[in-house]
Amino acid sequence: DVKVTQSSRYLVKRTGEKVFLECVQDMDHENMFWYRQDPGLGLRLIYFSYDVKMKEKGDIPEGYSVSREKKERFSLILESASTNQTSMYLCASSSLAGGRNEQFFGPGTRLTVL
């Protein structure tokens, strides 16, 4: 089974801190994604990556950056955390091998910025 793990389930940070959210997948997937989920807004795509060292902006990239130095790892960085970045963050990975469009999600990180 595909496994996507995220470094923390719950995280509390202070305004202005630099925050790193780590995501690791074990199925050699090419594609990785970061979403945030807020009540009433569904999932919104922050950044995605098709390959190592490649990144593409999603719908809401402002205030975030990403890093993909290895194929299995995709990091989301909050350069200077703000209270409006309090949210649930979900990482996902996928592969087009076999032609099926399926993203596998991690359990999520609930980030609170005070």
Partner 1 sequence: LAKTTQPISMDSYEGQEVNITCSHNNIATNDYITWYQQFPSQGPRFIIQGYKTKVTNEVASLFIPADRKSSTLSLPRVSLSDTAVYYCLVGEPDKLIFGTGTRLQVFP
Residue that the structure tokens 């996902």 belong to = 92
Is position 46 an interface residue for partner 1 (rule: CB under 8 A)?
no
Residue 20 neighbours by CB distance under 10 Å? 12
Task: Tell me which of 19, 25, 35, 76 binds partner 1, using CB under 8 A.
Answer: 35
List of residues 6+ apart from 45 with CB closer than 8 A = 33, 34, 35, 58, 59, 60
Is position 102 an interface residue for partner 1 (rule: CB under 8 A)?
yes
Kindly indicate which of the ranges 12-20, 68-76, 78-86, 102-110 contains the residues binding partner 1, using the contact rule CB under 8 A: 102-110
Q: How do beta strands 73-78 and 19-25 pair? A: antiparallel
Q: Which residues bind partner 1 (CB under 8 A)?
A: 4, 31, 35, 40-45, 48, 50, 59, 90, 92, 94, 96, 99-108
